[in-house]
Chains A and B, each alone.
Chain A
Amino acid sequence: MSSKPEFVHLHNHSEYSLLDGILRFSDHDGKPSELIKSLAKEGARGFAVTDHGNMYGAMECYSQCSKEGLKPVIGSEFYIVKGSRLDRGHPQRENRHVVCLAKDYAGYQNLMALSSAGFLEGFYYDPRIDREILARHSKGLVILSGCVKSEVCQAVLAGDMAGAETLAASYRDLAEPGCFFLEMMDHGIEDEKRANAGLMEIHRRTGIPLVATNDCHYARKSDQEAHDARLCISTGALLADGERLRFAGPEFYVKSPAEMAGLFESAPEAVANTVRIAEMCNLQIPKGKFILPEFAVPEGMTQGSYLERLAREGLRRRFPDGPSPAHHGRLAYELSVIQKKGFAGYFLVVWDFIAYARREGIPVGPGRGSGAGSLVAYALDITNLDPLEHKLLFERFLNPDRPTMPDLDIDFADTDRDRIIEYVRGKYGASNVAQIISFSSMGAKGVIRDVGRVMGISLPEVDRIAKMVPGGPDVTLYGAIQKNPDLPKAAQDPQIKKLLDLSLKLEGLKRHTTVHAAGTVITKEPVVRYSPLARNPRSDVVTTQYDGDVLPALGLLKVDFLGLRTLTIIQNTVRSIRTRKDPAFDIEGIPMDDPKTYELLRRGESLAVFQLDSSGMRTLLQQLKPTVFNDIVAILALYRPGPMKAGMVDMFVERKHGRSKVSYDHPLLQPVLQDTYGCIVFQEQVMEISKELAGFTGGQADTLRKAMGKKTPEDFEKMRPDFVSGAAKNKIPPKLANKIYDHLLEFGGYGFNRSHTAAYGLLAYQTAYLKANHALEFMCAVATSEIGHSVVGSDDKENKLAVYLEDGRRTGLKILPPDVQRSGAEFTIENPDAIRFGLVAVKNVGLGAAEAVVGARSQGPFKGLADFCSRVDLKAANKKAIESLIRAGALDALDPGKPPAAARARLLASLEETADRQAREREDLARGQATLFAMDCLSCDAGGASLQDAAPWSSNDVLRSEKEMLGFYFSGHPLLEVRAQLQAPRTHDIAALSPQVTTPVRLAGLLAQVKRKITKKGEQMAEAVLEDLTGSIRLLVFPRAYSGTHHAPGIGDKLQAGAVVVASGRLSFSKSGSDEAEGGPELFVDDVSPLAEALPRYARKLVIAAPMASLDDKALRALRDVLESHRGRCPVELEHRTTQGVSVLEVETRVLIDQNLLESLDSMFGEKSWRIESAS
């Protein structure tokens, strides 16, 4: 017996206890965490994971502990209900806890079954099991009675000792013999002491063994505050809140064996039993073996020979004139690697569902990820690029030296993706297919915001600190503190120091679960045999509990089925080209050197072109001026933060245009790098260089590529000697070889996957080609695809549909308004050359409503509103939908001869009554009581004759309704009307804002979106978007400005969407836009006032410039009367323009400028007869 006490922690909540755990198994680099390493060093005999109700962290615990030689004990602290898990009656607080640990693989299987049942059968607030299912799955499990919230302890605390004993006995009886333990905890809580006394009593009476645990939620005592902050973050509370969920004391950390032995001095066997239990648990999870689903092959064939036959047939089909020897050689090589590694089944599975998609006419992408590097995949139609032609490498896809599963990600048209998943379910069995969970974690910026919030630090202050952290996926807070001296400086403030300290401790912790957008796992036996399942409460989708990194490591087949909208767009465009122009049009057959396409790209007119849509990309296109397909592929690879920061984009552009010289360190580099002007743009080039110069194998080359991508110098340096000695064989002197290797290190790390880029470049080219040659068909398909993605009238999203349609208009496409006499449900092409708005694109109009309208119209055009209401099914198209259509202008044609402002007012005024009448008639008809009315209807409704009269809308109302219903101002822009008035109060146009503008600014425009928020302190604030005629900007109205102080009233109620206002404040340029919407400027608003109020404040002079001819005495007197009725403080000048020149009259009257005055001037002298001058 050793003198040092031994103890194994069997009750631990990792970060996967998303509510309150902050224990980590891994550090930021994915290596075993400090905790795991130190436990291993101290010789701990094991460590358990028992997260609340789930097993999310089981595999991470298993692999990290195993790496350190620490025994992982896999378990879960389940929620258990008194009655049946299927019963949803009990309140959440009556859920009890019980801990289960897996002794062996059978126990692990049972643990997964229980955990899955908790989510799939018993979910009610929490995933719950019951004793019935526990009994069925108790084989191979050690069961601990659980914390003070267990059934047994609760009975003890309720004073029901007899009941507690019965319960304990029932658990003992359902567990395997000797596998149930009474769990004692001591965190200095009174209830626990009482419970422990009861547990000891039961132990004495029944002999059920005891076990001591600590309810560990964090590693060290000093982490208590960070833990408390996490709790506040997940419950939305403030640290300072008096009444909130909090832990009783600082004792929930991973205590040393000595501490635990001290705590349970009176029950040493409970401490000793932890070691016994750890010894009972010897789980081995098989890894490294691939478990592919069964794929039936024709009789007499193996999976390997079948794949080979398919591949060879496919290759001949791809190359009707006979494949080249290079192709034959490559195919044979690839097949041999695939065979050797046992992946034939994998290819067959993928080939099968892609063949299904092609049979069904579901568009499939040309490839994504590294898969395009495989000729076998090309021959099987899995990808659509010849890898030899595009210099794509097989090893980038499947490294013969590494035992990892290849990763074939497939794009399908977004609208049809679910059909593929359904097919796969049908083929392999529903229980053998599941979607994959994904965990989001607290990023460097996000954690500062979260912690700042629970600490109650003001939002602008938190924002200031968060902005010191650069954006991007690999940024850590620790790294940012090293790099940006502003952060340590800010931390001189003790509150900020605490903010950073807590944030550092919480950074990277898992926060939410989501369903992975595309990942699907297909298994041989039901998924639950390999991974526990969960049900995502938000989307009701069944997912694995292990994420997409864990599943392949378990040898499972994971396929990413991605939905790609571009494929739908291409398909729809091709369809309409075929019906309208060219029945034989084939997107696969378009020339890859089409001049119009490259001209379009060189002009940067690539809005809506796949991957080239962003404004940065459009600018880059104008600089690079692409002339060949390779330029497009390169641009996709270069337009990323790393290469851009490293100056690679500029280098590429300069070299392409011959403004700087292209040189090669060695002639062998030229063939590899010449199509990128000597720049290393692709990972494949790094691999080629190592193969060509240093004789690396494909596998070695890929290992080098991986080391470079990770930017770990150690791994990279490890391969340097091989490179230099290999190069020596090619007579490359060591000095030059080292130089080239350094060069690889410098630029190769930024290299991008050429296979992926080439495949996506093809889609980019295809969409650009369609836009350049078939703009009408293309933009129509684009617009339709935006329906449902661009949220009309949404508060917080840029409306892409509006952007595309505006672009279409600018480039000469005719966009016609929605019209119930002409529109289809979706956008349609109206001959000869216009795009007609689809009815579904109108807000509040669903597909059902749109189809009801289109269907009713098939019997002939509507004669009027009554006819419309009588023929359209008013259940499918309800009043709200029709009202929206009216407001969008879609019913204008039903009041012929009236201008829109009048027609819409009259239609809307008549709708209620007309619709009700028609509904009644329908009912009567249905009851067989055709009334005179119904007989009448066909004649009653000629045009707008029967419509009620109503005052026409103002042009502003017309526009506002259009904006609300269509997402943008269709027939004009409201700011156009007040354009001149905006000039006076504003200091800058929005487009003219730049980081050089450091003084406060005043901007004038339209409040397009207003989003009100409540801060965690309960204060109101708002985010808004202000548009002028040059651009738009995000406004932030912080609580001080929103609600006001005792010096100044708040401006919150002046923030009304659709209002024309003047906003003043300071600009903020966030350095990068990772969690900001865009990297552009924001205005921190001090003041907002309606234009009408702001105008007199900032106007210095009203100048009326009327032509001489219109200024007779009468006009002058009328002008005087108008001015006199708007007396104020603003001077007025009359510019008298004659043929001799301009003379200026200073008018005695001073005026208050308002809309009414300006409208009067408009009506007297015409628009633009006046202007307002401002002081600054």
Chain B
Amino acid sequence: MADRKRILVADDDPDLVDLLKMDLANQGYEVLVAMNGKEALQMAMGEKIDLVLLDVMMPYIDGYHVAYEVTSKLGSGAPMIMLMTSRDTAREKGIAIMSGAAEVLQKPFEMDALHRKLAEIFAKT
């Protein structure tokens, strides 16, 4: 891996954000953080980011919309979106995909599972 991958973690749960920040940094990723939808959207649009780990339920703008705006506005230059949701229904998954998310991550999740998924995704690119 020549460049370190930049991951934006967006969630309004500070504990989870801290955990992810630490863990992903340990995995060798560069980690940025957003605490609500608005911040997340601004950063995703403005920064060079490879992947957004995006919570669905967030203040101001929900994750679906962030995903949609980012993917539809930036098109092929958009970061990949991995949506995190605690509701596991086909419906949620459908919305996620229709919003432009590449992956859906079911909360709660094991860190190992996250690592595997990230590795899979980055391996493809």
Chain B positions within 8 Å of A1127 at CB level: 72
User: Within the complex, which residue of B68, B90, B91 is in contact with A1148, where a contact is CB–CB below 8 Å?
Assistant: B68
User: Within the complex, which residue of A1108, A1116, A1143 is in contact with B98, where a contact is CB–CB below 8 Å?
Assistant: A1116
Scoring A1111, A1127, A1148 by chain B CB atoms within 10 A of each residue's CB, the highest score goes to: A1148
Q: Are B68 and A1117 in contact (CB under 8 A)?
A: no
Q: Are B72 and A1116 in contact (CB under 8 A)?
A: no
Contacting residues of chain B (64-89) with chain A, CB-CB under 8 angstroms: 64-65, 68, 72, 89
Does residue B32 face the partner (Cβ distance < 8 Å to A)? no
Does residue B95 face the partner (Cβ distance < 8 Å to A)? yes
CA distance A1111 to B90 in the complex (A): 9
CA distance A1149 to B72 in the complex (A): 9
User: Within the complex, which residue of A1123, A1124, A1134, A1149 is in contact with B94, where a contact is CB–CB below 8 Å?
Assistant: A1134
A contact residues vs B (CB 8 Å cutoff): 1108, 1111, 1113, 1116-1117, 1119-1120, 1123-1124, 1127, 1134, 1136, 1138, 1143, 1145-1149
User: Within the complex, which residue of A1108, A1113, A1143, A1146 is in contact with B97, where a contact is CB–CB below 8 Å?
Assistant: A1113
A1110 to nearest B CB, angstroms? 12
Chain A positions within 8 Å of B36 at CB level: none
Chain B positions within 8 Å of A1124 at CB level: 72
Knowing A1116-B97, A1117-B97, A1149-B98 touch, does A1136 contact B68 (C-beta < 8 A)? Answer: no
Q: Are A1136 and B94 in contact (CB under 8 A)?
A: yes
Does residue B37 face the partner (Cβ distance < 8 Å to A)? no
Chain A positions within 8 Å of B95 at CB level: 1145-1147
Q: Are B100 and A1120 in contact (CB under 8 A)?
A: yes
Closest CB pairs A-B (n = 4): A1148-B68, A1116-B97, A1143-B91, A1147-B98
- Interface size class on chain B is 10 to 19
Contacting residues of chain B (95-110) with chain A, CB-CB under 8 angstroms: 95, 97-100
Chain A positions within 8 Å of B90 at CB level: 1108, 1111, 1136, 1138
B66 to nearest A CB, angstroms? 10
B46 to nearest A CB, angstroms? 20
In addition to A1143-B89, A1145-B95, 14 A-B residue pairs with Cβ atoms within 8 Å of each other are: A1113-B93, A1116-B97, A1116-B98, A1119-B98, A1120-B100, A1124-B72, A1136-B94, A1145-B91, A1145-B94, A1148-B64, A1148-B65, A1148-B72, A1149-B72, A1149-B98
- With both beta carbons as reference points, the residue of chain B lying nearest to A1132 in the complex is identified as B98
B40 to nearest A CB, angstroms? 15
Chain A positions within 8 Å of B64 at CB level: 1148
B51 to nearest A CB, angstroms? 17
B20 to nearest A CB, angstroms? 24
7 contacts between A and B (CB under 8 A): A1116-B98, A1119-B98, A1123-B98, A1124-B72, A1143-B91, A1148-B64, A1148-B65
B63 to nearest A CB, angstroms? 11
CA distance A1119 to B94 in the complex (A): 11
Chain B positions within 8 Å of A1148 at CB level: 64-65, 68, 72, 98-100
- With both beta carbons as reference points, the residue of chain A lying nearest to B99 in the complex is identified as A1148
A1170 to nearest B CB, angstroms? 15
Chain B positions within 8 Å of A1123 at CB level: 98
CA distance A614 to B95 in the complex (A): 56
Q: Are A1120 and B98 in contact (CB under 8 A)?
A: yes
Chain B positions within 8 Å of A1134 at CB level: 94, 98
Contacting residues of chain B (15-63) with chain A, CB-CB under 8 angstroms: none
- With both beta carbons as reference points, the residue of chain B lying nearest to A1115 in the complex is identified as B97
Chain A positions within 8 Å of B100 at CB level: 1120, 1148
CA distance A1111 to B65 in the complex (A): 21
- With both beta carbons as reference points, the residue of chain B lying nearest to A1113 in the complex is identified as B97
User: Within the complex, which residue of B65, B72, B98 is in contact with A1145, where a contact is CB–CB below 8 Å?
Assistant: B98
Chain A positions within 8 Å of B91 at CB level: 1136, 1143, 1145
CA distance A1117 to B93 in the complex (A): 11
CA distance A1117 to B68 in the complex (A): 13
CA distance A1148 to B68 in the complex (A): 7
Chain B positions within 8 Å of A1116 at CB level: 93-94, 97-98
CA distance A1146 to B97 in the complex (A): 12
User: Within the complex, which residue of B68, B89, B93 is in contact with A1149, where a contact is CB–CB below 8 Å?
Assistant: B68
CA distance A1120 to B101 in the complex (A): 10
CA distance A1143 to B89 in the complex (A): 11
Chain A positions within 8 Å of B99 at CB level: 1148
Chain A positions within 8 Å of B98 at CB level: 1116, 1119-1120, 1123, 1134, 1145, 1147-1149
Chain B positions within 8 Å of A1145 at CB level: 91, 94-95, 98
Q: Are A1120 and B65 in contact (CB under 8 A)?
A: no
Chain B positions within 8 Å of A1117 at CB level: 97
Chain A positions within 8 Å of B68 at CB level: 1148-1149
CA distance A672 to B95 in the complex (A): 82
Chain B positions within 8 Å of A1113 at CB level: 93, 97
Chain B positions within 8 Å of A1138 at CB level: 90
B97 to nearest A CB, angstroms? 4
- With both beta carbons as reference points, the residue of chain A lying nearest to B68 in the complex is identified as A1148
- With both beta carbons as reference points, the residue of chain A lying nearest to B92 in the complex is identified as A1145
B47 to nearest A CB, angstroms? 22
Chain A positions within 8 Å of B72 at CB level: 1124, 1127, 1148-1149
CA distance A1147 to B100 in the complex (A): 10
Chain B positions within 8 Å of A1119 at CB level: 98
- With both beta carbons as reference points, the residue of chain A lying nearest to B96 in the complex is identified as A1116
A1125 to nearest B CB, angstroms? 11
Chain B positions within 8 Å of A1136 at CB level: 90-91, 94
Q: Are B97 and A1120 in contact (CB under 8 A)?
A: yes
CA distance A278 to B89 in the complex (A): 110
A1113 to nearest B CB, angstroms? 6
CA distance A1136 to B92 in the complex (A): 11
CA distance A1143 to B72 in the complex (A): 24
CA distance A1108 to B100 in the complex (A): 19
